[in-house]
Amino acid sequence: MKASKKVMESVIVSGLALTLAVTAVTGNGVNIAAKDAADTQFVNNGIAGVASAMNEYELESADYLDRYISVEKTNAALVAATADGTVISGNDTKKEETTEKETVSEEEQEWQNKLMAKVDDFLYVREKADSDSEIVGKMYKGDRAVVKEAGDTWTKIESGNVTGYVKNEYCVTGTDALNYAKKHCDTVAKVSIDGLRIRKAPDTDAEVVKTVASGEHMDVNTKAEETDGWIAVKVGSNTCYVSDDYVTVTLDTGKAVTIEEEQAAIKAAEEKKAAEEAKKNVSVSAEKKSSSGQSASSQTTQNASIAASADEETLLAALVQCEAGGTSVQCMTAVGAVVVNRVRSGGFANSIYGVIYQRGQFGPASSGRLEARLASGVSASARQAARAALNGSDPTGGAKYFKLASSGHAGTVVGPIVFY
């Protein structure tokens, strides 16, 4: 391009020089042909003609050169030619740079139509975009919604069973919502298979702490050092690991609730509290009767002991304390005996660990209470009861199940619990 430009400029300059020379000759010819005029006038007319022609050609040439250079500058701005002849448009280059700057991660892209309530407690969701409109639901702190229609002051959202409007000044959306969720919500790992092993270290040969069922959620320790192929999860106060092939890691965001759902939840909480109070009163009453020998119909039998490691004994003691803590040592021993009876039976797992963590059997094992008790330590009385059960002591008469005695279920009653 530069070489072409120089050639053109040379042609223009050469043309201008030739024109000036022709004009000069023509001017001289006019002067010679008009010899009957005064010499001074001939000379003046000749010079004037040459000057006039020069001015005209100079202006035309300069104008043409300006237009040429202007076109060349415009082309240079629009097109950049590479050494191998590939042409890249200047506008396209600018678009590529803009696109690169605007590139977002897959996670951020997923959040572009999401909204979080930026509140300390909750945010009302209204039927219409009006502060006086009927309240149809609430978004509590940590709840997430899908944006259905964005507005300058109000945004229509959908979350759970709630569809309505929220005021923009109390919300964040898109990437801001993602960052808010990361700051205020837990990161959890959802289990996708039954019997997923949780290990003490990120290694397939590491000791198994427990197994969990499909659908369960575990808190992820986001501060732990990342290890390829493993997710750090919290088990009590400890950090353990699961294979990332069998879990899905997400932010634990909530959903809005309707007014009816909230009222039902409040009622359920009140009923649960009342039931727990009643249970506590029954336990106290039953314990008093048991201690006086009025309703305890159990008779302890002595069976052969079973082998168990120190860790298994501690695990059994923790379960005993979770299920019967605060009752007599005999009642706690009975709970331990149920676990031992299952190991002996052949109809359950053949180890203390396997029986306790068998899916759907012991609530504390699936709820996380058992791990919390292991982390905080078990009582001396619970250890005494677990050791007695492992050594063959059985106040239940061979029972493999138990319930609260207040349920009315038939069986051997020990303290507030009936064994059957």
Q: Is-same-fold flag (107-184; 187-251)?
A: yes
**Of 103-107, 199-203, 353-357, 403-407, which range is least confident?**
103-107
Q: Is 66 a residue whose pLDDT tops 60?
A: no
Each residue's pLDDT tens digit, 115-148: 999 999 999 999 999 999 999 999 999 999 999 9
Residues paired with residue 152 on neighbouring β-strands, in sequence order:
none
Among 178, 188, 71, 168, smallest CA distance to 119 is for: 168
DSSP 406: G
Q: Is 371 a residue whose pLDDT tops 60?
A: yes
**CATH of region 290-419:** 1.10.10.2520
Which class in CATH covers the domain with range 187-251?
mainly beta
Q: Is 378 a residue whose pLDDT tops 80?
A: yes
pLDDT for the residue numbered 117? 94
Tokens of 402: 């138990």
CA distance 402 to 411: 9
Each residue's pLDDT tens digit, 259-311: 999 999 898 988 888 888 887 776 666 555 554 443 445 577 888 888 889 89
In the chain, % of residues over pLDDT 70? 72
Report the run of H or E that residue 14 belongs to, with start and end.
Answer: helix 2-33
Domain-by-domain residue ranges, the chain? 2-81, 107-184, 187-251, 290-419
CA distance 37 to 358: 131
DSSP 37: S
pTM of the model as a whole = 0.43
pLDDT for the residue numbered 138? 96
Find out whether 143 and 117 touch, Cβ atoms under 8 Å: yes
For 298, counting Cβ atoms within 10 Å of its Cβ (0-12 exposed, 13-18 middle, 19+ buried), the class is: buried
**Residue of 185 and 73 predicted with greater confidence:** 185
Mean pLDDT of 96-113: 74
CA distance 178 to 183: 9
Output the average pLDDT for the chain. Answer: 80
pLDDT for the residue numbered 297? 54
DSSP 245: T
Each residue's pLDDT tens digit, 247-257: 999 999 999 99
**Residue of 151 and 92 predicted with greater confidence:** 151
Q: Is 88 a residue whose pLDDT tops 80?
A: no
Q: Is 98 a residue whose pLDDT tops 90?
A: no
**Number of Cβ atoms within 10 Å of the Cβ of 158:** 17
Mean pLDDT of 80-95: 46
pLDDT for the residue numbered 165? 97
Mean pLDDT of 229-251: 94
DSSP 225: P
Which class in CATH covers the domain with range 107-184?
mainly beta
Going by C-beta distance under 8 Å and a sequence separation of 6 or more, which residues neighbour residue 362?
Answer: 319, 323, 356, 370
